[in-house]
Amino acid sequence: MPDNIKPLKVSYHHGDLPQQAHQLALEILQEHGDAAISLRALAKQIGVSAPALYRHFIDRESLLAELAVTGFEELRERLLAVDQSKPRRALIEIGLVYVSFAQDEPNLYRLMFGGRVLPKGVHPRLDSAGKGAFQVLENTIARAQQAGYIKPMPLALMTAAAWSLVHGLSQLTIDGHLPSADAEPLLTEGVVTLLLDGSLADNEQQHKDTTS
């Protein structure tokens, strides 16, 4: 752990070592990035031996994977909270929520999608958590497509396109290449609407539904 990181005061209670290590690692990640996380340093801060911590996390990567799982679970919860009653607006809101999560948790977001650190297929729980968040996006796109707001293209293709848009926007924003939502609130919405079929709005779709 780098010398410039101030030790956090942690009171260890028997039986909750994995939870305390997870929380402490998450705090370090959020402030300093994943490179600052060390199992031995965590054990020292908590006040236990390194072997005691290794009984719960076989290596540093396994701990990072659990942190990424936490990130995907939180992202999924935020996406599930989007109102799905209006498919067109829901698609836009999904994009806004996705980018907002990345801006709120830039270091966690980088870890979640950093294939170099956590390659796909190595950590089943992480892969499952990622799919869970992805499924919310796919379901939202399916509803918007069924309502006529998205071109009738294969769902997998449209979902990949949507994910590429919001992920690319998120990465560019947290890396400082594009303004944040606070500086340019319409940027994210403008990017997401690129997926929509022309300028079809909610009231136009309602008119189509009543006349068809």
Token pair 């990424």 is found at: 68
86-135: per-residue pLDDT in tens?
999 999 999 999 999 999 999 999 999 987 778 888 899 999 999 999 99
Threshold 0.85, pTM exceeds: no
CA distance 72 to 82: 16
Q: What is the DSSP string of 10-22?
A: ----TT-HHHHHH
Contact at 8 Å (CB) between 71 and 105? yes
Calculate the alpha carbon distances from 170 to 36, 105, 124, 125, 191 in Å. 23, 11, 25, 24, 11
Q: How many helices (DSSP H) and strands (DSSP E) are in the chain?
A: 10, 0
Q: What is residue 83's DSSP assignment?
A: -
* 40-58 per-position pLDDT tens digit: 999 999 999 999 999 999 9
The residue to which tokens 């799905």 are assigned: 84
Predicted confidence at residue 197, as pLDDT, reads 67
The SS3 of residue 48 is coil
CA 62, CA 155: separation in Å to the nearest integer? 33
- Classified as helix, coil or strand, 181 is coil
Q: Measure the CA–CA gap between 170 and 207, rounded to whole angstroms.
A: 35
Instruction: Please enumerate in sequence order all residues whose Cβ is within 8 A of that of 204, keeping only pairs 6 or more positions apart, or say none.
Output: none
